[in-house]
């Protein structure tokens, strides 16, 4: 688009950047729609030859922005011929936004998977590889299989990376034009390649890669980081950003270490709060007082602990205190086959293969009386922020990016633009209800479910944890109300359950993020009865997660409804001191049903705001530490991603 055209849309929208972009993209989408008409009479062979011509032009140096209208028209026609699906104008606008390197906020049900094909095809024309990032293996495999024929008809190849693949299969998948996969898998492949290359001084990476290729050693898996398109971008770029990707070195446990983990767990039960230790719930940290240190020093210990220095014993007891008070079973982790498995805070999904560092994971294993696994050191590490900053071009799409716009723009240097919906959103919400106790709240939720089922409405109940979903399920079972509990343990089953959640009178209890990426389809009679009703049983630590749950209803112009049910015993408030919670409970004046006045809602919102700021600060501090670490490694002439040097 010419400079004159840019200026026209800039002035037309009163010099407002976001409005100007939308106006320009809308005009371009109109041009694409017109081009599509001329492609209708083309044979499949001619369509593929046209695609090959575009690829030649791209590789010859013609700017991709000039090719964009032709490329997007080709993709739209290919999608119609293979899937009987055509991009709406708003999807074309989203595709343009993604090509220009921004985050497109597109509401649930607006067809983000189909939209992603547009910029993926255009960027793939360069032949440098295009990575489409999804939140789990199931969605990566599903999207690559469904959208693969659209690319194939235009002469492009498509692959998928899943956690169970061997290196040779990964190498082949990365060598194709478009590769689907998760951020974790691609990040770990990046780190494994850095280990294969070996430690190299900054500025000498290209030479190190060349030397590696000529050395006859095992070839690299990835071929570079040219373009990444991230689905559910806020989940990947924000929610997962506090957890660095680490390739561990197994450090076998000796008998003394195993004894230390188990003894420390027992020792915490002999310590007095405030007198011997201080636990800070807001920071999820603890420290021993002078009195606590003396008590630990004088406690009877197994003889094996004589070989362990006192500082390490103090530190491990502090970790055991954090494990005891800061991490709850069926909220932060589950025990499966005598193994502690971490549960992702924002998605409610099990994170197989992940471990907490610095002895925390082993502390929880001691607490649960399961076998103590080996601790891990670090062979290589990278934060999510640093990994995606390696890409020459970065784009993302999600339903809830605007709320984190400032952080995304500052961290990743990309803009966020809200794309209009294809049809107006007619979602309705009722005032939140607040209760004094968890039991009173759950009974009210059950009553509401009974009322909605009489109207034949489908109900999706969002819970923050496995524990909460099962507790509510028990109450529904007592009332003989048919329901489906979704704990997000198996992605394939998860998608199928969520897909059926729109059937009349169906009750689905799910963790807040379960089934993300799968549409809930409604029958005609359900639409007439008011559509899908979402009941949020708690506020999450992030308002974006609440919005994602609410966004499951009223997709594509369908009717829908949502309501929050809260209590003073909710997990959100566990970040507060116990004395503060007890004081609140005493001051709360509930009615005969245990319900509190609506004014209590502001207290929950303030707590949520506090946690959002805390987590934002943690991400900012982590990014600052990572930046300082990389600068230090650069000054020392060492590889910033490898913790060891050759």
DSSP per-residue codes, 459-520: EEEEESSHHHHHHHHHHHHHTT---EEE-SS-HHHHHHHHHGGGSTT-EEEEETTTTTTS--
Q: Is 519 annotated as a binding residue?
A: yes
Quick one: average pLDDT of 284-291?
90
The answer to whether the CB of 175 falls within 8 A of the CB of 204 is: no
Give tens-digit pLDDT for 430-486.
999 999 999 999 999 999 999 999 999 999 999 887 788 888 999 999 999 999 888
Question: How confident is the prediction for the chain on average, in pLDDT?
Answer: 86
Number of other CB atoms surrounding residue 92 within 10 Å: 28
Query: Is 112 known to sit in a ligand binding site?
Result: yes
Please report, to the nearest 10 degrees, the dihedral formed by the alpha carbons of residues 464, 242, 282, 266 taken in order.
Answer: 80
Residue 101, annotated as binding a ligand? no
For the ranges 54-63, 66-75, 235-244, 453-462, the lowest mean pLDDT is seen at 235-244
Tokens found for residue 556: 């594509």
More confident: 185 or 518: 185
Is 210 known as a binding-site position? no
Largest CA distance in the chain: 88
Strand pairing category for 532-536 and 459-463:
parallel
Name the residue among 425, 413, 389, 319 with its Cα closest to residue 102.
413
Is 329 assigned a ligand-binding role in the annotation?
A: no
Instruction: State yes or no: 110 annotated in a binding site.
Output: yes
Structure tokens at 181: 């996969």
193-216 pLDDT, tens digit each: 888 887 665 556 666 677 777 676
**Residue 91 in marked binding region:** yes
In whole angstroms, what is the distance from residue 580 CA to residue 293 CA?
27
With 90 as the cut, is the pLDDT of residue 334 above it?
no
Helix (H) or strand (E) holding 156, with range, is none
Comparing 18 with 278, which gets the higher pLDDT?
278
CA–CA separation, 561 and 427 (whole Å):
6
pLDDT > 70 fraction of the chain, expressed in percent and rounded: 91
pLDDT band with cut points at 50, 70 and 90 for residue 646: very low
As a whole number of angstroms, the distance between CA 308 and CA 67 comes to 66
Mean pLDDT in residue range 396-418: 85
pTM of this prediction exceeds 0.75 = yes
For the chain, which domains are there?
8-244+384-418 (3.40.50.300), 253-373 (3.90.1440.10), 426-596 (3.40.50.300)
Question: CB burial class (10 A; 0-12, 13-18, 19+) of residue 602?
Answer: exposed
State pLDDT tens for residues 151-182.
999 999 999 999 889 999 999 999 999 999 99
Answer positive or negative: Cα dihedral of 113, 401, 498, 561.
negative
Alpha-helical runs (H) found in 125-254: 137-153, 167-174, 183-197, 205-214, 233-234
- CA gap 225, 133 in Å, rounded: 13
């Amino acid at each position: 688009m010419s400079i004159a055209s840019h200026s026209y849309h800039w002035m037309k929208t009163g010099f407002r950047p976001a409005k100007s972009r939308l106006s320009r993209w809308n005009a371009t989408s109109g041009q694409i729609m017109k081009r599509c008409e001329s492609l209708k009479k083309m044979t499949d062979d001619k369509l593929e030859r046209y695609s090959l011509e575009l690829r030649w032009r791209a590789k010859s140096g013609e700017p991709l922005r000039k090719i964009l209208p032709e490329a997007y028209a080709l993709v739209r026609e290919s999608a119609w011929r293979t899937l009987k699906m055509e991009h709406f104008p708003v999807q074309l606008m989203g595709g343009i936004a993604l090509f220009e390197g921004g985050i497109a906020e597109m509401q649930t049900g607006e067809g983000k998977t189909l939209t992603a094909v547009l910029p993926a095809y255009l960027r793939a024309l360069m032949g440098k590889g295009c990575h489409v990032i999804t939140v789990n293996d199931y969605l990566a495999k599903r999207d690559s299989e469904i959208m693969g024929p659209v690319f194939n008809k235009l002469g492009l190849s498509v692959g998928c990376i899943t956690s169970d693949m061997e290196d040779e299969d990964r190498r082949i998948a990365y060598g194709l034009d478009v590769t689907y996969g998760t951020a974790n898998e691609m990040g770990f492949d990046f780190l494994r390649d850095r280990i294969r290359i070996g430690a190299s001084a900054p500025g000498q990476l290209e030479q190190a890669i060349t030397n590696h290729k000529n050395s006859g050693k095992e070839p690299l898996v990835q071929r570079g980081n040219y373009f990444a398109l991230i689905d559910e971008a806020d989940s990947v770029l924000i929610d997962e950003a506090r957890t660095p990707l680490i390739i561990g070195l197994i450090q076998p446990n000796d008998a003394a270490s195993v004894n230390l983990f188990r003894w420390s767990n027992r020792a915490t039960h002999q310590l007095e709060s405030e007198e011997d230790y201080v636990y800070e719930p807001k920071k999820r940290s603890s420290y021993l007082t002078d009195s606590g240190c003396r008590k630990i020093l004088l406690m009877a210990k197994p003889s094996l602990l004589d070989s362990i220095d006192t500082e390490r014993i103090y530190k491990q007891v502090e970790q055991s205190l954090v494990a005891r008070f800061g991490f709850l079973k069926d909220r932060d982790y589950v025990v499966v086959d005598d193994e502690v498995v971490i549960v992702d805070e924002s998605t409610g999904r099990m994170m197989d293969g992940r471990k907490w560092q610095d002895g925390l994971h082993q502390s929880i294993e001691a607490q649960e009386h399961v076998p103590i696994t080996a601790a891990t050191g670090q062979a290589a590490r990278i934060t999510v922020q640093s990994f995606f900053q390696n890409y020459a071009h970065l784009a993302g799409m999600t339903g809830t990016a605007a709320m984190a716009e400032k952080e995304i723009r500052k961290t990743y240097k990309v803009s966020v633009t809200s794309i209009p919906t294809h049809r107006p959103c007619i979602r309705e919400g009722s005032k939140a209800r607040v209760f004094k106790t968890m039991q009173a709240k759950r009974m009210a939720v059950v009553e509401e479910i009974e009322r909605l089922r009489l109207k034949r409405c489908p109900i999706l109940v969002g819970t923050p944890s496995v524990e909460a979903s099962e507790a509510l399920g028990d109450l529904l079972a007592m009332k003989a109300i048919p329901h489906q509990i979704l704990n997000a343990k198996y992605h394939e089953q998860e998608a199928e359950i969520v897909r059926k959640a729109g059937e009349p009178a169906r009750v689905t209890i799910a963790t807040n993020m379960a089934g993300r990426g799968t549409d809930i389809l409604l029958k005609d009679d359900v639409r007439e009865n008011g559509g899908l009703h979402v009941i949020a049983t708690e506020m999450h630590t992030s308002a974006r997660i609440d919005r994602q749950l609410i966004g499951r209803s009223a997709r594509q112009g369908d009717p829908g409804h949502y309501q929050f049910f809260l209590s003073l015993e909710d997990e959100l408030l566990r970040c507060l001191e116990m004395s503060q919670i007890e004081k609140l409970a005493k001051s709360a004046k509930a009615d005969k049903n245990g319900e509190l006045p609506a004014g209590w809602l502001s207290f929950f919102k303030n707590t949520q705001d506090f946690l959002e700021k805390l987590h934002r600060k943690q991400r900012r501090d982590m990014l600052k530490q990572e930046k300082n670490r990389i600068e230090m490694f650069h000054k020392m002439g060492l590889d910033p991603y490898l913790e060891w040097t050759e």
